[in-house]
Chains A and B, each alone.
Chain A
Amino acid sequence: MTDQLQEQTRSPKTGPRKTVRIIAVVMGVFLVGLAVLLATRKPVSMQTVASPLINKTAPAISGTSLDGKRVSLASYAGRFVLVNFFASWCTPCQDEEKALAQFSNSSPDVSVLGVVFDDVNSSAAGFLRRYGANYQAVSDPNGQIALSYGVSQPPQSYLIAPNGVILTEIVGPVSLASLNQLVGIARSRGF
């Protein structure tokens, strides 16, 4: 009888205490895990992500070319187009220019469309002439084309498939071999 009474009086006390202990342990583990996760992850400002434009239709480009003609990206439909943001003052742009000039002449279904980034048109035109580049380059006086492509600084390029979808973004100078490789991969995937 006494044991039963003791059991009855003990059980309500031990029950909640046990529950509280379990909850405390679970919460402790959760908080420690959260602290570890937050302490070890890279700050968001340092995380680099691929361009959100990849696999999406390329933003429209239309404007005046450096030789005064109307140019639009739509007129390149059915071909691979490398949209290249460049400036005459940019050293890496000088490094890649020869490769771009060669790439634009490499195949009839491949073109390059230059976009002037923060540069004077005459300087940009002179720069292209110096490297023997005969592709079109469009002026972007307010930087709105660069903004629509998410360009931070030149050189930055976007390979666009014949159906108008952006296949890849290249930050920094390009090489002829890598461009040919990219186009080859795209062709093999049915673009």
Chain B
Amino acid sequence: MTEIHSETAPKALIRKMKLLKWLLIVSVVVIAVGISYALISSRPNITSQQRVARIESEVKCPSCDGVSALVSNTAGAFAVRSFVEKQVKAGVSDSQILNALEASYGPSILMSPPAAYGGTVMAVLPFAFLAVVVGLTVFFGFRRWRNSAGDFAWNGQQSVLESSIGDDAVAGTGVGGTEGSLDETPQDDLTRQKSLGPVRRKWLLYMGALLVLAGIGSALWIIRNHDNNQKQLAATAVQAQNEAQTILKARVLANQGQDVQALQLLSSVLEVDPNQPVALTYQGWLLTQAGEKDNNSALINQGQQFLEKAVKLDPGYPDARVFLGYVLFQDRHDANGAVSQFHAFLADKPSQSFIDATKSVIISAYKQAGQPIPLQLN
């Protein structure tokens, strides 16, 4: 009876194990297909304008330092933008466009150039390290669990055996005799191994399935996140492009004396991005100019606030510094405050034409503050 039971039980167990294995494989395949479908169907549909802006944001302006071709107004940036637009219209893929630029300039033309020393290896290393750590933890954890489970099963068997033998038998042999009869023999060890085998395999399968699902989940999360980042990047790039164009238009209008239209354009930029330093600077400058013309101190105050905000947001923007210096010197009669702004303006290395256009006022401020005139102004 015992023999029949011992032969049929493993067969049933093996059948169950096989079924479980196939179920696992099928579920993994189903999940993989589902994920692939979800990823393909959820690919972001971006317009060609967004594509152009995204590519331009990934390429440096060739003559600038760390500024993308999207936001720069140099000749090199214009050339890049013209090239990208032409290529996108011609149906060339993003990677081909970036590769073409890389072929001329090298990887340094990209805003995020691939890492040196074998970029792929460097990118894979942390994941490989994590995989090794997880693998070792699982391995040693499982080993420890197996040992403790073995002890537990062996103790369980011992108690069952003790109860089946009965108190008399135990009493006959004595406590010491029972211990002696239950001492570990090679046959007993084999029995223990066999009894633990299916349990171990089952847990291994559960753990394997869990790891596979966790891996798929992580991959899905990473890819989704990447897509979202791409969408966000494209949207930000388009916004930056629109902002740059609007500010440029506003500056042109301001130069033509159409201050009201220029202020309207700058306000539209600031409505979307209240912390845009260039828009804040020119808004502030135009408002103080209008305040000076109309002798309206409220407008001058408002303009000064815009300029102060611009300086706070971008202390290295020379236009904001020089305009604030002007306002402090000419409207507030604060020569020392103006000199500190002019000092920062000159430290930002503005163009010679910009210095030439402003130097008479700057020199007056330095003289009035009783400070030596910087060499750049001579």
Q: Give chain A's interface residues, CB within 8 Å of chain B.
A: 16, 20, 23, 27, 31, 34, 37, 41, 44-45, 47-49, 51-53, 59, 117-118, 142-144, 146-153
Contacts and interface: CB of A to CB of B under 8 A. Distances in A.
A53 B105 CA distance: 8
A72 to B, nearest CB: 19
Given A37-B117, A41-B116, A142 B108 contact: no
Interface string B89-109: 000000000000111111111
B62 interface: yes
B111 to A, nearest CB: 9
Contacts of A147: 62, 76, 79-80, 83, 101, 104
A166 B50 CA distance: 36
A146 B79 contact: yes
Interface in B128-162: 129, 132, 136, 140, 143
Contacts of A44: 107-108, 113-116
A152 B103 contact: no
B76 A144 contact: no
Contacts of A31: 129
Interface of B: 62-63, 66, 75-76, 78-80, 82-83, 101-109, 113-117, 125, 129, 132, 136, 140, 143
Contact of A151 (B62, B129, B143): B62
Contacts of B143: 16
Given A52-B104, A143-B78, A146-B79, A45 B66 contact: yes
A48 B107 CA distance: 10
B21 to A, nearest CB: 29
Given A117-B75, A151-B62, 18 more contacts: A20-B136, A27-B129, A27-B132, A34-B125, A41-B116, A44-B114, A45-B108, A49-B107, A49-B108, A51-B104, A52-B102, A52-B105, A59-B104, A143-B76, A147-B76, A149-B104, A153-B62, A153-B63
Contacts of A23: 136
Contacts of A34: 125
Contacts of A51: 104, 106
Contact of B75 (A53, A59, A118): A118
Contacts of B102: 52
Nearest to B64: A152
A142 B125 contact: no
Contacts of A143: 75-76, 78-79, 82
A16 B140 CA distance: 8
Contacts of B113: 44-45
B76 A153 contact: yes
Nearest to A44: B113
B247 to A, nearest CB: 21
Contacts of B108: 44-45, 47-49
Contacts of B103: 52-53
A149 B104 CA distance: 5
Contact of B116 (A47, A52, A118, A149): A47
A115 to B, nearest CB: 12
Shortest 4 CB-CB distances between A and B: which pairs?
Answer: A143-B79, A118-B75, A150-B104, A150-B105
Contacts of A27: 129, 132
Nearest to A153: B63
Contacts of A37: 117
B106 A142 contact: no
